[in-house]
């Protein structure tokens, strides 16, 4: 949820119209949830969930084997995955542009969250910006600076590290 909000705010800082919201389910930290971000040059009028996203961010690679995460994803869209191992999936790489980042490692290196519950929101958004080039690092950092209640510097640095370290598997 937080990642979708930071992403929206980053695009807002670059002059876009934005909307971010969760598909609210179980009220429990760590439960699988979806959140959406809409970005537009004009006013956004759709007020419903997104069923055919242009791009996808996966905060935990385990979701790849438990949920059909690419359901509805448009062909040629970006998938940015938080993983500590290489993704060797020809089907994914054939249809989509895939980028990976060990956002957990980066988050922990900046003491964001704990080993059991690392907070990867800021790293993954940095990686998204780095891989796709759709939004600038400065805008991402500005959004983090506004959103993070504490550890602003650490979060901004984590985003920058991920921005630089993101690895493109296919597509660019």
Partner 1 sequence: MKKVIMGNHAVSYGVRASEVKVISAYPITPQTHVVELLSEMCANGEIDAKFIKVESEHSAMAACVGASAAGSRAFTATSAQGLLLMHEMLHWAVGARLPIVLANINRAVGPPWSIWTDQNDSLSQRDVGWLQIYCESNQETQDTVPQAFKIAEELQMPVMLVMDAFFLSHTYEIVDMIEKEQVREFLPPYKPDIKIDTADQHSFGNLAGPDHYMELRYMIQKAMDRGLDVIKRVDSEFEEMFGRGYGLIEPYRCDDAETILVTSGTVASTTRVVIDELRDEGVRVGSLKIRVFRPFPIEDVFEVLSKAKKVAVIDRNISFGAHGIFYQEIKSALYGRTDIPIIGYIAGLGGRDITPKVIREIADKAIGDEQPERYINWIGVKI
From candidates 41, 42, 47, 86, binder to partner 1 by CB under 8 A: 47
- SS3 of residue 98 by DSSP: strand
- SS3 of residue 106 by DSSP: helix
Q: For residue 81, report the phi and psi dihedrals to the nearest 5 degrees.
A: -115, 135
Using the minimum distance from each CB to partner 1, give the nearer residue, 114 or 138: 138
DSSP string, 109-168: HTT-B-SSSB--HHHHHHHHHHHH-SS-HHHHHHHHHHH-SS-HHHHHHHHHHHHHH-EE
Segment contacting partner 1 by CB under 8 A, of 16-24, 65-73, 110-118, 134-142: 16-24
Q: Considering the rule CB under 8 A, would residue 5 count as an interface residue with partner 1?
A: yes
Q: Considering the rule CB under 8 A, would residue 41 count as an interface residue with partner 1?
A: no
Q: Considering the rule CB under 8 A, would residue 102 count as an interface residue with partner 1?
A: no
Q: Considering the rule CB under 8 A, would residue 20 count as an interface residue with partner 1?
A: yes
Point out which residues bind partner 1 (CB under 8 A).
4-5, 8-9, 12, 17-22, 24, 27, 44-49, 51
């Amino acid at each position: 949820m937080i990642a979708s909000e930071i992403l929206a705010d980053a695009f807002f800082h670059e002059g876009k119209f934005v909307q971010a919201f969760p598909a609210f389910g179980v009220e429990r930290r760590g439960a699988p949830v979806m959140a959406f971000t809409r970005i537009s040059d004009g006013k956004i009028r759709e007020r419903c969930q997104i069923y055919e996203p242009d791009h996808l961010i996966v905060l935990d690679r385990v979701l790849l084997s438990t949920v059909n995460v690419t359901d509805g994803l448009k062909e040629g869209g970006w998938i940015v995955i938080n993983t500590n191992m290489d993704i060797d999936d020809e089907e994914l790489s054939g249809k989509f542009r895939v980028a990976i980042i060990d956002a957990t490692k980066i988050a922990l290196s900046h003491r964001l969250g704990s080993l059991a519950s690392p907070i990867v929101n800021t790293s993954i958004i940095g990686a998204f910006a780095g891989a796709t080039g759709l939004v600038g690092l400065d805008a991402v950092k500005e959004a983090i600076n506004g959103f993070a209640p504490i550890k602003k510097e650490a979060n901004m640095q984590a985003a920058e590290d991920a921005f630089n370290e993101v690895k493109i598997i296919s597509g660019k």
